[in-house]
């Protein structure tokens, strides 16, 4: 893991009226790191992530993502990141190939690049036989893997994953994490937001957000040692009930 | 019974908490009645016209004065030459040009026959038609006066008497139509939406897995809207009586009962729609396209049924709104009672029973 | 038997949602249906709650047939669908009152049953259900499902999308309800919740993989599992995959769960092999089998 920082967040805050959704958070994420961004629903995860991907402007504080300032260069950030969420991934009523072409197109790839990439991608995911099938007809696990690959089409520096493996069957889930590790080892930073604590166990480092603040940040192993518990689930329980 | 009351109470909570729908529910009838009553009308007022008077004598001046003093026309311009006519129409300044012939005065007196040419802008055919009718009226009146004062000549003039709506007020024609549309929309669309909302939210699953009988769910959904629709019908009638001075010649009680019959038939349609649609959006689309359009186009509200092609006339027969409009017009304008409307009422009753029976039969006791 | 399912099958067009499912739930049992999304859990729940007809097979709830005696079942079961299904525009109290009346009862009549849960949301009783947090919605939905004192309670993924704190509380509540004699059938995609149930059925792609007590399912897993970690996760997985004796390799949190083909697994040999692959900080230790390991082995 290199020490180069691709995400640097400094005293980032977002207020909605009197309510501090994100309250003065500071952290760094290194290149090629799998970073878990945890918190309960409503803890401020989504708001924080929206600021990092340049959809929401911060109330105060600074953040640098993929080398660009979120306050001034939000558009440049969008070109250098990928995004995948469980809720919205691919268009169900388009075929596998059409989805790849469409997303390749919006990420600004040329026709030739799209063609090369899609051949490579279909081969890697073993989806060559179903490339002309509607995405709706694929099993959930395949869709997840395809959608992750699509988010990597334009070689982004960082991929943001929103609860990527919730509800997926255990074996597919492992395949998915293998893909994540592979992307990370080739230098892509993976930023996972989730409230599933077992997803957290797979990350290199995790931060736990409670009521807009980051209450803990370390490797899962160290966090478990610090709180003297066996799982991240228990770490979380201890932090929230504190 | 307690279950049923509990259900209705819940429905009223839904209705009164959804401020937007509530606004549409009661704002729409008022807005529509006012819109149709004031803005959209067949009458003409202060239509701009131009005059080209070739004769310029006493008689033509008298006629012109008569025209300009009427409330229907205002004279925009006096023209000098025929060639100006085209350009003034193109500019869109006037709706009609009246051309008095060279010897208008002398022809009128000597030959008892003079010509006024009425050139109208037929891009707006309705207005053109009305304008020429009004001008004719004024001319005939003038001629009659002249004949009286100079020489009582023999002349037979046709006289049309408009019965039931002697002033040809368009609002009288619109009120029954608007009332029909609103009752249809409120009853059918609102019920179908409220049932499909339960499906969409997933609460229908819980209602199904409960001792509630299908008929209780349906009646519980329908009852609040019967109530609201009656209030709506009252608002419309009160508005048309007090603001537009619309007479109600017949029995208000009969009008009320017929309205309830129509409301129930619309509710039946609403339930039917909800059985075939899974989402609120579909229910709304079906209500708007499947109910609103036929009511507006085929019920005789705007386009007279008699002048429709035969197939459309047949289709109009299966539209409940057609029969209801006939009934409402009959009661409000003609003042007739059930002895003249029993046939239409019976048809409506039959349709109502049909919709209700079919929708109860189609109501699913399971999810699929 | 409180619930008995025998040879139930159900298809949607081409997709087989359930294939020949059979199991029984004893009175007062807390039975878990555990499997990923799309395994057929919701379909099974809908068949048992009389919302759907199976293509084949017989199912009984409280000895009532789900097809012919569906009205009786609707009177005596409590059902909490997967999606949050209460009236969002009604307050907490109004929701509860409504469900009490449609079941012909009152809040007061069965208050003792819901009391423990209801007091947690009572401070918010005038708040609209749509404005509650995920955990509170769940509690309210449970109250509504319990208000008529059902004999059997069906909970379809009650803890999905709920934060860990609320999840834990929810299971504690279920345990207490079970002690009051209510039979509970609950489904979940979280393998770690299996241990909270008396018995579980592991389900995937419409088929039951195994039914037993959670601790026995784990015992049936014969192979030893080793936790392996090193400095580079991706390289570790790749290296293990090319190791001649590997049987299964699954990333598992910060470790890889490894099983070997041979009974007499030699950890030093593997360690040496991994070192040749330029991995450092290698740890290999035996670990306990989890339900998830068992599931993966059965689904393999």
pLDDT in the model for residue B202: 87
pLDDT in the model for residue C47: 96
Residue ending a domain, among C219, C240, C273, is C219
C-beta of residue A192 within 8 angstroms of C-beta of residue A36: yes
Residues C180 and C247 in one domain: no
- Which residues from A are below 8 Å from C254, CB to CB? 201-202, 219-221
**Mutate which of C41, C136, C164 to disrupt the A interface (most A C-beta within 10 Å)?**
C164
Nearest CA in chain A to C163: A40
Bridge partners, residue A85, by sequence:
A162
Residues C237 and C184 in one domain: no
Residues of A with CB under 8 A from a CB of C: 40-42, 139-140, 166-172, 174, 177-178, 181-182, 184-185, 195, 197-198, 201-202, 219-221, 231-233, 236-237, 240-241
Mean pLDDT, range B75-93, rounded to an integer: 83
Which other chains touch chain C, taking contact as 3+ CB pairs less than 8 Å apart? A, B
pLDDT digits (tens, 9 = 90+) for B23-49: 878 888 888 878 777 766 556 677 888
pLDDT digits (tens, 9 = 90+) for C44-55: 999 999 999 999
pLDDT in the model for residue A55: 87
Residues B187 and B313 in one domain: yes
Residues B21 and B60 in one domain: no
What gap in Å lies between CA A231 and CA B46, rounded to an integer?
Answer: 85
Is the model more confident about B154 or about B187?
B187
Q: Is B39 on the interface with C (CB under 8 A)?
A: no
State yes or no: pLDDT of C187 exceeds 90: yes
Number of H helices, E strands in chain C: 10, 14
What's the whole-number average pLDDT of chain A? 89
Angle at C127 between CA C122 and CA C133, to 5 degrees: 85
User: Looking at residue A77, which CATH number applies to its domain?
Assistant: 3.40.50.300
The Cα of A231 is separated from the nearest Cα of chain C by a number of Å equal to: 10
> Are C101 and B211 in contact (CB < 8 Å)?
no
Nearest CA in chain B to C150: B210
Confidence of residue A39 (pLDDT cuts 50, 70, 90): confident
Residues B212 and B300 in one domain: yes
pLDDT in the model for residue C164: 82
C-beta of residue C166 within 8 angstroms of C-beta of residue A43: no
Residues B194 and B154 in one domain: no
The Cα of B263 is separated from the nearest Cα of chain C by a number of Å equal to: 27
Q: 10 Å Cβ neighbour count for A136?
A: 12
E strands in chain C: 3-12, 15-25, 30-34, 56-61, 64-65, 77-80, 152-155, 183-188, 199-204, 207-212, 225-229, 246-252, 255-260, 283-287
Q: 10 Å Cβ neighbour count for B225?
A: 25
> Are C49 and B209 in contact (CB < 8 Å)?
yes
Residues B26 and B60 in one domain: no
Residues C40 and C174 in one domain: yes
**Mutate which of A169, A186, A209, A235 to disrupt the C interface (most C C-beta within 10 Å)?**
A169
Residues C151 and C252 in one domain: no
Residues C143 and C245 in one domain: no
The Cα of B356 is separated from the nearest Cα of chain C by a number of Å equal to: 23
Mean pLDDT, range B205-232, rounded to an integer: 88
Nearest to B365 by CA among B174, B215, B159: B215
Closest CB to C86: pick one of B18, B203, B367: B203
- Which residues from C are below 8 Å from A197, CB to CB? 164
pLDDT in the model for residue B40: 60
Is the model more confident about B84 or about C29?
C29
> Are C234 and A178 in contact (CB < 8 Å)?
yes
pLDDT in the model for residue C156: 95
Write the Ramachandran bin of C58: left for phi over 0, alpha for psi from -120 to 50, otherwise beta.
beta
Residues B8 and B86 in one domain: no
Q: Is B5 on the interface with C (CB under 8 A)?
A: yes
The Cα of B216 is separated from the nearest Cα of chain C by a number of Å equal to: 10
Residues C166 and C236 in one domain: no
Closest CB to B3: pick one of C46, C81, C104: C104
C-beta of residue A154 within 8 angstroms of C-beta of residue A78: no
- Counting CB pairs under 8 A, whether chains C and B reach 3 or more, is yes
DSSP labels, B248-297: --S-HHHHHHHHHHHHHHHHHHHHHHHHH-SSHHHHHHIIIIIIIHHHHH
> Are A181 and C251 in contact (CB < 8 Å)?
yes
Which other chains touch chain B, taking contact as 3+ CB pairs less than 8 Å apart? C
pLDDT in the model for residue B149: 60
Mean pLDDT, range B186-198, rounded to an integer: 89
Output the CA torsion sign for B126, B131, B136, B137: positive
CA distances to A10, C45, C52 from C5, rounded to whole Å, are 58, 11, 14
What gap in Å lies between CA A132 and CA C133, rounded to an integer?
Answer: 42
What gap in Å lies between CA B24 and CA B239, rounded to an integer?
Answer: 17
- Counting CB pairs under 8 A, whether chains B and A reach 3 or more, is no
Nearest to A10 by CA among A29, A23, A25, A21: A25
pLDDT in the model for residue C53: 94
> Are C79 and B3 in contact (CB < 8 Å)?
no
- The pair of structure tokens assigned to A223 is 């966090």
Residue ending a domain, among C219, C250, C277, is C219
Q: Is C113 on the interface with A (CB under 8 A)?
A: no
pLDDT digits (tens, 9 = 90+) for C214-243: 999 999 877 899 999 999 999 999 999 999
Mean pLDDT, range C274-292, rounded to an integer: 92
pLDDT in the model for residue B53: 85
Closest CB to C81: pick one of B13, B202, B368: B202
Q: Output DSSP code: residue B109.
A: I
Angle at C299 between CA C298 and CA C300, to 5 degrees: 95
pLDDT in the model for residue C127: 94
- The pair of structure tokens assigned to B133 is 């009718």
Q: Is B163 on the interface with C (CB under 8 A)?
A: no
> Are C163 and A195 in contact (CB < 8 Å)?
yes
**Coil, helix or strand at residue B51:** strand
Half-sphere exposure of B50 (CA within 13 A, CB side): 23
Nearest CA in chain B to C78: B209
Residues C250 and C183 in one domain: no
User: Looking at residue C284, which CATH number applies to its domain?
Assistant: 3.30.70
Is the model more confident about A2 or about C4?
C4
Q: Output DSSP code: residue C128.
A: B
pLDDT in the model for residue A1: 44
Count of domains forming chain B? 3
- Calculate helix-pair angle for C92-102, C134-146, nearest 10 degrees: 20
Distance, CA of C191 to chain centre: 7
State yes or no: pLDDT of B146 exceeds 80: no
Q: In terms of residue numbers, what domain contains A89?
A: 5-241
What gap in Å lies between CA B355 and CA B74, rounded to an integer?
Answer: 54
Residues B197 and B240 in one domain: yes
Count of domains forming chain C? 2
C-beta of residue B290 within 8 angstroms of C-beta of residue B192: no
**Coil, helix or strand at residue B319:** coil
> Are C235 and A185 in contact (CB < 8 Å)?
yes
Q: Where do we find the tokens 């998830």?
A: C292
Q: For the sheet containing B73-79, what is the strand order?
A: B73-79, B47-53, B96-100, B116-120
Residue ending a domain, among C219, C254, C275, is C219
Nearest to B192 by CA among B88, B273, B109, B285: B273
Residues B123 and B254 in one domain: no
State yes or no: pLDDT of A161 exceeds 80: yes
Output the CA torsion sign for A125, A127, A133, A137: negative
> Are C296 and A170 in contact (CB < 8 Å)?
yes
Element (H, E) at B50: strand B47-53
Angle at C207 between CA C204 and CA C213, to 5 degrees: 80
Q: In terms of residue numbers, what domain contains C266?
A: 225-298
The Cα of C296 is separated from the nearest Cα of chain A by a number of Å equal to: 6
Residues C112 and C79 in one domain: yes
> Are B203 and C89 in contact (CB < 8 Å)?
no
Residues B139 and B214 in one domain: no
Residues C91 and C212 in one domain: yes
Q: 10 Å Cβ neighbour count for A30?
A: 16
pLDDT in the model for residue C134: 81
Q: Please state, for a pLDDT cut of 90, what percent of chain C lies above it.
A: 80
Residues C163 and C292 in one domain: no
- Which residues from C are below 8 Å from B9, CB to CB? 98
Q: Is C15 on the interface with B (CB under 8 A)?
A: no
Please list, in sequence order, all residues whose beta carbon lies within 8 angstroms of the beta carbon of residue B330, skipping any fewer than 6 positions away: B250, B336, B340, B341, B344
- The pair of structure tokens assigned to C182 is 């209510």
pLDDT in the model for residue C235: 93
pLDDT in the model for residue B164: 58
Angle at B265 between CA B264 and CA B269, to 5 degrees: 115
Q: Is C76 on the interface with B (CB under 8 A)?
A: no
Bridge-based pairing of strands A60-65 and A213-218 is: unpaired
Write the Ramachandran bin of A39: left for phi over 0, alpha for psi from -120 to 50, otherwise beta.
left
The Cα of C45 is separated from the nearest Cα of chain B by a number of Å equal to: 11
Longest dimension (CA), chain A: 55
- Share in percent of chain A as helix, strand, coil (round to 5): 40, 30, 35
What gap in Å lies between CA B29 and CA B180, rounded to an integer?
Answer: 10
pLDDT digits (tens, 9 = 90+) for B315-355: 889 889 999 999 988 888 888 888 889 999 999 999 999 98
Count of domains forming chain A? 1
Q: Is C292 on the interface with A (CB under 8 A)?
A: yes
State yes or no: pLDDT of C246 exceeds 90: yes
Q: What is the ipTM of this complex?
A: 0.84
- Which residues from A are below 8 Å from C252, CB to CB? 174, 201
Residues B101 and B222 in one domain: no
> Are B206 and C144 in contact (CB < 8 Å)?
yes
Angle at B251 between CA B246 and CA B252, to 5 degrees: 65
pLDDT digits (tens, 9 = 90+) for A88-139: 678 889 999 999 999 988 888 899 999 999 999 999 888 888 889 998 888 8
Confidence of residue C181 (pLDDT cuts 50, 70, 90): very high
Max mean pLDDT among B269-273, C58-62, C128-132 falls in C58-62
pLDDT in the model for residue C213: 96
pLDDT digits (tens, 9 = 90+) for A46-87: 899 989 988 899 999 999 999 999 999 988 898 899 988 876
User: Looking at residue B121, which CATH number applies to its domain?
Assistant: 3.40.1710.10
Distance, CA of B63 to chain centre: 36
Confidence of residue C208 (pLDDT cuts 50, 70, 90): very high
**Coil, helix or strand at residue C158:** coil
Residues C17 and C141 in one domain: yes
Return the CA Rg of chain B.
28
> Are B367 and C71 in contact (CB < 8 Å)?
no
pLDDT in the model for residue B39: 65
Q: Is C74 on the interface with B (CB under 8 A)?
A: yes
> Are A41 and C133 in contact (CB < 8 Å)?
yes
Closest CB to B366: pick one of C53, C71, C103: C53
Residues B156 and B210 in one domain: no
Closest CB to C89: pick one of B13, B211, B212: B13
Nearest to C154 by CA among C182, C112, C116: C182
What gap in Å lies between CA A143 and CA B70, rounded to an integer?
Answer: 76
Residues B150 and B176 in one domain: no
State yes or no: pLDDT of C147 exceeds 60: yes
> Are C79 and B205 in contact (CB < 8 Å)?
yes
- Which residues from C are below 8 Å from A198, CB to CB? 190, 192, 253
Closest CB to C204: pick one of A169, A178, A220: A169
pLDDT digits (tens, 9 = 90+) for C88-133: 999 999 999 999 999 999 999 999 999 989 999 999 999 999 998 8
What gap in Å lies between CA C194 and CA C35, rounded to an integer?
Answer: 10
pLDDT digits (tens, 9 = 90+) for B99-116: 888 887 777 777 767 777
- Which residues from C are below 8 Å from A237, CB to CB? 164-165, 168
User: Looking at residue C130, which CATH number applies to its domain?
Assistant: 3.40.50.300
DSSP labels, B146-215: HHHHH-------------SSTT--HHHHHHHHHHHHHHHIIIIIHHHHHHHHHHHHTHHHHHHTSS--HH
pLDDT in the model for residue B187: 86
Nearest to C2 by CA among C147, C182, C158: C182
Q: In terms of residue numbers, what domain contains B181?
A: 171-367
pLDDT in the model for residue B134: 78
pLDDT digits (tens, 9 = 90+) for A164-194: 877 788 898 899 999 999 999 999 999 998 8
CA distances to A83, A165, B228 from A29, rounded to whole Å, are 17, 21, 60
φ, ψ of residue A162 in degrees (nearest 5): -105, 110
- Which residues from A are below 8 Å from C133, CB to CB? 41-42
What's the whole-number average pLDDT of chain C? 92
Residues C269 and C229 in one domain: yes
């Amino acid at each position: 893991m290199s020490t180069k920082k691709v995400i640097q967040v400094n005293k980032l805050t977002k207020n909605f009226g009197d309510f501090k959704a994100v309250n003065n958070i500071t952290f760094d994420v290194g290149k090629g790191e799998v970073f878990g961004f945890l918190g309960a629903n409503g803890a401020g995860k989504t708001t924080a992530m929206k600021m990092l991907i340049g959809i929401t402007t911060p109330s105060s504080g600074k953040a640098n993502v993929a080398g660009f300032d979120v306050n001034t260069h939000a558009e440049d950030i969008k070109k250098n990141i990928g995004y995948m969420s469980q809720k919205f991934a691919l268009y169900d009523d388009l075929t596998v190939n059409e989805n790849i072409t469409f997303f390749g197109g919006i990420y600004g790839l040329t026709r030739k690049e799209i063609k090369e990439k899609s051949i490579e991608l279909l081969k890697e995911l073993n989806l060559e036989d179903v490339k002309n099938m509607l995405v709706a007809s694929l099993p959930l696990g395949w869709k997840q893997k395809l959608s992750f690959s699509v988010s990597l089409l334009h070689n982004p520096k960082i991929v943001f994953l929103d609860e990527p493996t919730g509800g997926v069957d255990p074996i597919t889930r492992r395949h998915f994490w293998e893909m994540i590790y592979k992307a990370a080892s080739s230098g892509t930073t993976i930023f996972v937001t989730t409230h599933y604590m077992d997803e957290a166990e797979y990350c290199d480092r995790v931060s736990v957000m409670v009521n807009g603040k980051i209450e803990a940040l370390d490797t899962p192993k160290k966090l478990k040692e610090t709180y003297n518990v066996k799982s991240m689930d228990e770490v979380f329980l201890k932090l929230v009930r504190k | 019974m307690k279950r049923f009351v509990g259900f209705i109470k819940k429905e009223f909570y839904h209705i009164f908490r959804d401020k937007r729908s509530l606004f549409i529910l009661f704002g729409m009838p008022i807005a529509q009645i006012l819109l149709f009553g004031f803005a959209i009308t067949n009458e003409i007022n202060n239509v701009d016209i131009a005059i080209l008077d070739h004769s310029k004598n006493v008689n033509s001046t008298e006629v012109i004065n008569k025209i300009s003093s009427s409330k229907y026309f205002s004279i925009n311009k006096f023209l000098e030459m025929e060639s100006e006519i085209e350009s003034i129409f193109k500019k869109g300044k006037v709706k009609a040009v009246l051309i008095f012939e060279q010897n208008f005065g002398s022809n009128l007196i000597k030959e008892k026959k003079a010509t006024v040419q009425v050139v109208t802008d037929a891009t707006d055919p309705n207005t053109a038609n009305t304008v020429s009718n009004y001008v004719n009226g004024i001319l005939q009146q003038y001629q009659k006066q002249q004949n009286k004062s100079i020489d009582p000549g023999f002349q037979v003039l046709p006289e049309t008497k408009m019965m039931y709506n002697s002033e040809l007020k368009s609002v009288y024609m619109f009120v029954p139509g608007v009332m029909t549309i609103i009752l249809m929309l409120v009853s059918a669309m609102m019920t179908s939406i409220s049932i499909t909302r339960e499906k969409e939210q997933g609460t229908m699953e819980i209602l199904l897995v409960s001792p509630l009988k299908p008929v209780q769910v349906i009646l519980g959904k329908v009852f609040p809207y019967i109530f609201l629709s009656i209030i709506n019908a009252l608002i419309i009638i009160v508005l048309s009586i007090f603001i537009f001075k619309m007479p109600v010649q017949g029995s208000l009680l009969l009008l009320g009962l017929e309205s309830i019959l129509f409301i129930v038939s619309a509710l039946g349609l609403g339930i039917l729609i909800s059985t075939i649609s899974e989402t609120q959006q579909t229910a709304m689309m079906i209500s708007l396209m499947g109910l609103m359009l036929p009511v507006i186009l085929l019920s005789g509200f705007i386009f007279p049924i008699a002048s429709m092609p035969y197939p459309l006339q047949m289709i109009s027969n299966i539209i409940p709104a057609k029969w209801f409009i006939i009934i409402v017009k009959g009661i409000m304008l003609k003042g007739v009672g059930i002895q003249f409307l029993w046939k239409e009422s019976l048809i409506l009753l039959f349709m109502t029973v049909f919709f209700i029976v079919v929708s109860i039969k189609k109501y699913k006791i399971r999810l699929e | 038997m409180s619930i008995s399912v025998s040879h139930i099958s159900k298809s949607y067009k081409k997709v087989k949602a359930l294939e020949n499912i059979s199991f029984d739930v004893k009175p007062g049992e807390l039975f878990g249906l555990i499997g990923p999304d799309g395994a057929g859990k919701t379909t099974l729940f809908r068949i048992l709650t009389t919302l759907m007809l199976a293509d084949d097979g017989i199912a009984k709830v409280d000895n009532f047939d789900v097809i012919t005696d569906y009205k009786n079942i609707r009177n005596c079961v409590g059902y909490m669908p997967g999606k949050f299904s209460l009236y969002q525009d009604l307050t907490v109290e109004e929701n509860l009152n409504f469900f009490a009346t449609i079941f012909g009862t009152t809040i007061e009549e069965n208050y003792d049953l819901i009391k423990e849960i209801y007091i947690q949301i009572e401070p918010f009783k005038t708040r609209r259900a749509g404005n509650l947090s995920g955990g509170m919605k769940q509690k309210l939905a449970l109250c509504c499902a319990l208000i008529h004192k059902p004999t059997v309670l069906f909970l379809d993924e009650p803890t999905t999308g709920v934060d860990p704190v609320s999840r834990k509380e929810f299971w504690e509540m279920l345990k207490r309800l079970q002690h009051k004699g209510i039979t509970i059938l609950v489904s979940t995609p979280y393998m770690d919740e299996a241990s909270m149930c008396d018995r579980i059925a592991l389900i995937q792609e419409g088929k039951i993989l195994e039914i037993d007590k959670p601790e026995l399912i784990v015992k049936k897993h014969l192979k030893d599992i080793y936790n392996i970690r090193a400095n580079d996760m991706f390289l570790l997985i790749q290296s293990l995959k090319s190791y001649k004796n590997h049987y299964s390799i699954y990333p598992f949190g910060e470790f890889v769960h490894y099983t070997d083909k041979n009974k007499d697994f030699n950890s030093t040999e593997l360690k040496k092999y991994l070192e040749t692959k330029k991995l450092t900080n290698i740890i290999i230790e035996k670990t306990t089998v989890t339900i998830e390991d068992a599931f993966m082995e059965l689904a393999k």
